[in-house]
């Protein structure tokens, strides 16, 4: 039976943040105005097959605003709903280390030095982390915690080729160890429900990353978004997407294999409603999370009874 720290029965990001900073902390999605080697012609011009025009940053602020103004706008939006005081600066859109170091130093320093920011989170690709960038991230990590989010998505080469990821697993693993050598926190993104992957293949991705010194994981349900190549493939081939029940059971299995010190940053995800083609049930995020909680509690109760026999 899996040990747990709180009522969620896994090491949630919310629990970690309250434990670390003493109160609830919210993320503010920022736009650094970057592109991606999968879009600018370095590797490809089409992007990953599932990626929208926003480069996974559909909820980020306008690039026309300075970083400070983006943070202030994000604060105002969040504070309409809650009395939050502390925030994470989350550079989300596209590949956020794909720019000259001088530019990265400017925007990252502006974010991390904001008095209400307690951590800097940077979404990027493992093939966009050269030695100069690692040095910069190490320097910033001396000011406030720096998290680097690596979009692995899958360990399987055939799937990686299908989604046009553009780097191999060894590149990802090298990036993990390079970042950890600088004492930088690493969060790995996996997508669950990619076409043609079985339940066991998805679990094998989780098992593989659980052997590495990562600090957190984001488990993301595959969203089929309009105006993507994945949407075209879906309409043409009609591949099966996970049902809510299948996804919930898969998540519970994934949690069993992740080390208990790994922070669970995400168990599902938000797709922009105006773009979401499938699965439609995923728009009800709270309903999905509540079902996961119920099934975790049921499994714990069942395993507890078995241990008493």
Does residue 204 have a pLDDT over 50?
yes
Tens digit of each residue's pLDDT (9 = 90 or more) over 135-159: 999 999 999 999 999 999 999 999 9
Tens digit of each residue's pLDDT (9 = 90 or more) over 164-187: 999 999 999 999 999 999 999 999
Domain 13-308: CATH superfamily is Aldolase class I (3.20.20.70)
pLDDT of the residue at 153: 98
Name the more confident of 305 and 27.
27
Q: What integer best gives the mean pLDDT of the chain?
A: 91
Does residue 300 have a pLDDT over 80?
no
Q: What is the 3-state secondary structure (H, E, C) of 157-220?
A: HHHHHHCCCCCCHHHHHHHHHHHHHCCCEEEEEEEECCCCCCHHHHHHHHHHHCCCCCCEEEEE
Q: Is 127 helix (H, G, I), strand (E, B) or coil?
A: coil
Mean pLDDT value across residues 66-80: 96
Mean pLDDT value across residues 249-265: 95
- Residue 16 CB contacts under 8 Å (≥ 6 apart), including other chains: 263
Local confidence band at 57 (pLDDT 50, 70, 90 cut-offs): very low
Does residue 308 have a pLDDT over 70?
no
Side-chain half-sphere of 192: how many Cα atoms within 13 Å?
Answer: 29
Query: Are the CB atoms for 41 and 10 separated by under 8 Å?
Result: no
Question: For the chain, which residues make up each domain, given as ranges?
Answer: 13-308
Name the more confident of 80 and 63.
80
d(CA 249, CA 39): 35
Mean pLDDT value across residues 208-225: 97
Does residue 305 have a pLDDT over 50?
no
pLDDT of the residue at 301: 58
Does residue 73 have a pLDDT over 60?
yes
């Amino acid at each position: 039976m899996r040990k747990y720290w709180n009522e969620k029965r896994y090491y949630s990001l919310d629990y970690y943040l309250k434990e670390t900073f003493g109160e609830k902390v919210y993320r503010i999605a920022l736009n650094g105005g970057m592109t991606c080697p999968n879009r600018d012609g370095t590797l490809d011009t089409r992007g990953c097959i599932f990626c929208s025009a926003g480069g996974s940053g559909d909820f980020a602020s306008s690039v026309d605003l300075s970083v400070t103004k983006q943070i202030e706008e994000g604060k105002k939006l969040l504070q309409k709903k809650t009395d939050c005081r502390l925030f994470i600066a989350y550079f989300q859109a596209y590949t956020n280390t794909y720019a000259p170091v001088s530019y990265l130093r400017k925007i990252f320093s502006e974010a991390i030095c904001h008095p209400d920011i307690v951590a800097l989170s940077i979404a990027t690709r493992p093939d966009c982390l050269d030695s100069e960038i690692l040095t910069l991230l190490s320097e910033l990590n001396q000011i406030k915690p720096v998290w680097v989010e690596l979009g692995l998505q899958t360990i399987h080469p055939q799937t990686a080729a299908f989604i046009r990821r553009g780097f191999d697993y060894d590149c990802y693993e090298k990036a993990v160890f390079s970042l950890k050598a600088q004492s930088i926190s690493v969060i790995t993104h996996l997508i669950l429900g990619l076409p043609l992957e079985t339940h066991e293949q998805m679990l094998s991705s989780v098992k593989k990353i659980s052997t590495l010194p990562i600090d957190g994981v984001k488990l993301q349900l595959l969203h089929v978004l309009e105006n993507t190549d994945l949407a075209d493939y879906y309409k043409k081939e009609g591949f099966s997407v996970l049902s809510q029940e299948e996804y919930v059971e898969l998540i519970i299995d994934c949690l069993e294999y992740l080390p208990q010190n790994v922070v669970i940053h995400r168990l599902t995800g938000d797709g922009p409603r105006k773009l979401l083609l499938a699965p439609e049930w995923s728009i009800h995020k709270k309903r999905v999370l509540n079902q996961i909680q119920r099934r975790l509690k049921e499994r714990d109760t069942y395993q507890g009874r078995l241990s008493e026999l």
